[in-house]
Structure 1
Amino acid sequence: MSRLAGKVAIITGAASGMGLAAAELFAREGAKVVATDVVADVLEKEVAGLAGDVIAVPLDVASADAWAEVVAAAVSAYGGVDILVNNAGIHLAKGILETELDEWDRVMAINTTGVWLGMKAVIPQMKARGGGSIVNCSSIAGIMGGAADGHGAACSASKGAVRSLSKHAAQWFAADNIRVNSVHPGAVFTGMAQAIGITSRAAMAAYDNGNTPLAPHAGEPMDIAYGYLYLASDESKFVTGEELVIDGGWITH
């Protein structure tokens, strides 16, 4: 399998969930993968279990200096960067009135500023290589309100910003053959769901009160990773500024 043969990919939030699934899938498809996460020990352990050409590099996505180190590591190990998957993100299940300023700032720093810093760091490398693909993880919460945002005002705002920022970047860097697209997951059973006490995909479907019409009514990380793969690969060479919704039909409401 070689849909990404010869490509170098940086993937954030790769210690678990959708990011780890993407690292596994991209390596299987021939990419050289720079897997990053702020949880360095867990990242090292998970990456050690993957087949293919994958290295682990710690990254706090909200730090410009840390981004510079990750890009330098990619260049040193593999010669450049062709693909960036801005997957890292956090969730805070608090509304406008309940959220404190420091909580708001943290969500925005990781979910939105981290995406901006990532693009800012890799785009010069992509220009030097004649192009590239950037895939930014937003959410259906960046498109619609209600239960889709998991009661998170800051999450909704941050993911909406990622959606708009992706379109901005798609316009400004198309002339450099750099494509920028956003992916909008719905209910996906990951470690983030487990952290709030959801123990299975079936439990997640029940938690979401039937909002996802397509069985099994909750996705798994690899469902999103395959979306990342399509947008990262040359199969989507004429796709930029688009929103790939992967939600089992939730947004059809």
Structure 2
Amino acid sequence: MPAKALMKYWCLLAVLTALVAVVTVCAEPTLVKVVDQLNSTVSHLVEVKVLNGRAKRLNASWWIIESGDKEVVVSVVYMNETVYQGSLKTGKTYVVRASITEMKIVSGDESLTIVVTHLASGKAWSLFGKKTYRIYPVPCGTYKVTVRGSRKVEKTVYFTGGEISLEKIAEAPKLSLLAPLLAAAAVPAAGYSAYTVAKKKRRRPSKKAEKKPCRKLLGEKPKRKEKKSEKRKTAVKRREKEKKTREKRRLFRR
């Protein structure tokens, strides 16, 4: 009995193995191609994960998914950010569009230093010397934008595409009016305008400060008024004396 049972067990195992092999050979593969928001292929940049199966990179453009289920849950990850997630039926070919795009940054001043940091991955881009910058490819997600000029401004934004304007991050993009000498040397026109503005601001309060104490301490206006009144009084006295002398002369002649 043990020998016969063992033989039946081995026969059943062989039949099951053959059936699995036939199903695997006859089943159509599930192919996935990943593109960004600009319809450019980014399959070589991302990582494809399958919840109830496994994914393998077939080439630079396609991923192949292996699973025994009729439907699989697929997620696409780029820079530690999930840029796509959905359920796909097995045995078909798919082109999925991930949340990967181009970031445009508009700066109002070439002398500003801009640092863009992707918080999920920690990757940072340092930008300097232009008014417009383009970073590609980047995932949609949370970024920290740091603007360094005469003062430092930081803001966290959730980027979903399009452009980031520094006017929305800071009240005014002219943060480098009093920039360091290196920035002024790199952009002489901006440095000159910064110098003239700062110079005017320093002169104006000094003039007002000099005028106010002079009027209060020396009292120029009241002295001038006193001099005018005294001159008038003396003139009137002289006229009266001249009249009296004239009258005396007339009386003496008579």
Could you say whether these structures have the same fold, taking a TM-score greater than 0.5 normalized by the shorter chain as the test? no
Q: Which has the higher strand share?
A: 2
Larger radius of gyration: 2
Q: TM-score, normalised by structure 1?
A: 0.23
Q: TM-score, normalised by structure 2?
A: 0.23
Q: Which has the higher helix share?
A: 1
